[in-house]
């Protein structure tokens, strides 16, 4: 099928020739055949026309969880990737949050095969340790050869610093990327929300910012000693930004990300004891949120993630203390980020990050494979359940004003849109 995008404003800061220009784009058999001021459709061509149509290279999300295998009631791979495509993402990094944990090459092959026919490409993480128990290193080299783009015991901190040291040394043989979740469990204790005025007022056990910052500092010291590639996912405090900035000035090979919701919300939201706002790391203060946004703008924080974590209703509609952590975020990621930042900055953040995982970034020019996201950055709306395509509905954005609508995605010769 041929596709013709009519009067699409191109957002591509890597292209001086096309950035902020309005062009027609013709796609033949999955390849960008022509970009011009005006193109007339020929033969069997699907013409895409929308008010205020914008286009960029396909978006990338570095932190997505589904459920399959083991927790299919939360989300299947097929529906999760369809949701990602409808949300503008042509590539996602899948967190190892399944049962059994993906700690072998066969597990990685299963995930890759399950996603093979989908528009959105799935790039799996393997666990760093066997069964994500933090004791013995998993089959890192074999998983890398099978397609794993990094190694992460999902949301589980590495309590043994020597294990992180050995992992960082070992993966240098094959350019592996090691994750370390930023939380010291001995400092966090039984805390479930940010420690501060709000937690004290509500009588909820708090997780001090020290729990994150102590772990980040420890991990950076180890990285400086060992070398290797370290990724610190979803940081949440102002001091973490400073620590990582200092490490980068030293030339350490470290990257980090932030969850969109840690930019949008603070622990003030907890006053209704709504478990939709229970996440890990927890929502912090306005000071932290401002520092995280500045860290993104300054390039200290490498990329932003939806941290999409579906949970079924039985795991969320319980007492706050007993509720599971996590909020879905794919469907709201663009609208929430575009509300906080200008459109060019938003698209720049949503399209960066692939290189860290050894993935090739798409190029928007004639002769290249079409990997595109179509959107309107000016649509204002209130986020409601009808905007959710995920099987689980645990979104903290319910009822929030957002800005920006995704029209669809094009990748691998496929086109996904909400329209029939």
Are 124 and 236 members of one domain? yes
Q: Return the percentage of the chain with pLDDT > 70, whole number.
A: 100
Residue 384 lies in a domain: no
DSSP 221-252: HHHHHH-SEEEE-S---HHHHHHHHHHHHTT-
Q: Is residue 89 part of a domain?
A: yes
What is the rounded average pLDDT of the residues 370-392? 97
Site of tokens 């000035």:
249
Residue 229 shares a structural domain with residue 188: yes
Residue 273 domain-assigned (yes or no): yes
Is residue 158, in this structure, part of any structural domain at all?
yes
pLDDT band at 198 (very low <50, low <70, confident <90, very high): very high
- Answer whether residue 201 shows pLDDT above 70: yes
Same domain membership, residue 198 and residue 116: yes
Rounded CA-CA distance 307/120 in Å is 17
* Cβ-based neighbour number of residue 116 at 10 Å: 9
Residues 282 and 370 in one domain: no
Least confident of 126-130, 210-214, 340-344, 415-419: 415-419
Give the total number of structural domains in the chain: 2
Question: Does residue 386 fall inside a structural domain?
Answer: no
Query: Are residues 241 and 289 in contact, defined by beta-carbon separation less than 8 angstroms?
Result: no
Residue 369's pLDDT is 97
Q: Alpha helices of 258-377 — where are they, by DSSP H?
A: 261-264, 286-297, 313-316, 330-340, 343-350
User: Residue 42: what pLDDT?
Assistant: 86
Taking the C-alpha atoms of residue 95 and residue 398, their distance in angstroms, rounded to an integer, is: 24
- Looking at the DSSP assignment, which residues form a beta bridge with residue 34? 26
Same domain, 346 and 370: no
Contact 180, 154 (CB under 8 A): no
Cα-based distances in Å from 239 to 205, 246, 302: 21, 11, 16
For residues 183 and 295, state if they share a domain.
yes
How far apart CA 77 and CA 65 sit, in angstroms, is 9
Q: In the prediction, which pLDDT does 1 show?
A: 75
Contact 171, 145 (CB under 8 A): no
403 and 339 within one domain? no
Looking at the structure, do residues 65 and 143 belong to the same domain, yes or no? Answer: yes
CATH code of the domain covering residue 260: 3.20.20.140
Domain that holds residue 196: 58-357
Instruction: Confirm whether 297 is domain-assigned.
Output: yes
Strands 2-10 and 45-48: parallel
Check residue 420 and give its pLDDT: 47
Average pLDDT over residues 309-328: 96
The string of pLDDT tens digits covering residues 91-136 is: 999 999 999 999 999 999 999 999 999 999 999 999 999 999 999 9
- pLDDT value for 43: 86
- Let me know whether 92 and 20 are in one domain: no
Judge if 306 and 411 occupy the same domain: no
Residues that are catalytic: 307
Residues of the chain by 3-state class (helix, strand, coil), percent to 5: 35, 25, 45
The answer to whether residue 21 sits within a structural domain is yes
Q: What mean pLDDT is predicted for residues 247-273?
A: 97
pTM of the model: 0.96
Direct distance between the N- and C-terminal alpha carbons of the chain, in angstroms, rounded to an integer: 15
The rounded mean pLDDT for the chain is: 97
Question: Would 388 be classed as within a structural domain?
Answer: no
- Look up the CATH number of the domain holding residue 9: 2.30.40.10
Same domain, 161 and 177: yes
Q: Are residues 49 and 163 in the same domain?
A: no
Mean pLDDT of all residues in 209-215: 98
């Amino acid at each position: 099928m041929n596709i013709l995008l009519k009067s699409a404003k191109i957002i591509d800061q890597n292209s001086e020739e096309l950035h902020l220009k309005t062009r027609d784009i013709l796609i033949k058999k999955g390849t960008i055949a022509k970009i011009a001021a005006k193109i007339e459709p020929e033969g069997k061509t699907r013409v895409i026309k929308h008010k205020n149509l914008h286009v960029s290279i396909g978006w990338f999300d570095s932190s997505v969880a589904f459920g399959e295998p083991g927790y299919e009631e939360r989300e299947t791979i097929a529906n999760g990737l369809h949701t990602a495509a409808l949300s503008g993402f042509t590539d996602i990094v899948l967190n190892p949050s399944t049962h059994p944990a993906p700690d072998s090459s066969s597990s990685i092959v299963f995930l890759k095969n399950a996603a093979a026919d989908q528009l959105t490409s799935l790039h799996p993480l393997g666990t760093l340790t066997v069964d994500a128990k933090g004791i013995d290193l998993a089959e890192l080299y074999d998983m890398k050869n099978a397609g794993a783009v990094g190694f992460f015991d999902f949301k589980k901190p590495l309590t043994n610093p020597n294990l992180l040291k050995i992992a960082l040394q070992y993966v240098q043989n094959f350019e592996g990327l090691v994750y370390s979740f930023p939380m010291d469990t001995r400092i966090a204790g039984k805390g479930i929300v940010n420690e501060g005025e709000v937690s004290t007022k509500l009588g909820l056990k708090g997780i001090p910012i020290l729990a994150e910052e102590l772990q980040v500092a420890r991990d950076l010291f180890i990285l400086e000693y060992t070398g290797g590639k370290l990724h610190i996912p979803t940081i949440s405090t102002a001091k973490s930004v400073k620590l990582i900035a200092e490490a980068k000035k030293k030339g350490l090979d470290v990257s980090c990300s932030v969850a969109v919701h840690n930019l949008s919300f603070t622990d003030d939201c907890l006053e209704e004891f709504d478990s939709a706002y229970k996440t890990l790391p927890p929502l912090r203060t306005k000071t932290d949120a401002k520092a995280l946004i500045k860290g993104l703008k300054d390039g200290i924080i490498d990329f932003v993630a939806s941290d999409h974590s579906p949970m079924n209703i039985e795991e969320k509609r319980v007492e706050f203390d007993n509720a599971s952590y996590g909020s879905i975020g794919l469907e709201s990621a663009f609208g929430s980020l575009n509300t906080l930042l200008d459109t060019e900055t938003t698209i720049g953040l949503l399209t960066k990050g692939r290189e860290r995982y050894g993935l090739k970034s798409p190029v928007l020019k004639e002769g290249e494979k079409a990997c595109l996201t179509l959107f309107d950055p000016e649509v204002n709306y209130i986020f409601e359940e009808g905007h959710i395509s995920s099987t689980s509905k645990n979104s903290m954005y319910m009822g929030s004003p957002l800005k920006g609508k995704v029209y669809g995605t094009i990748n691998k010769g496929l086109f996904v849109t909400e329209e029939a």
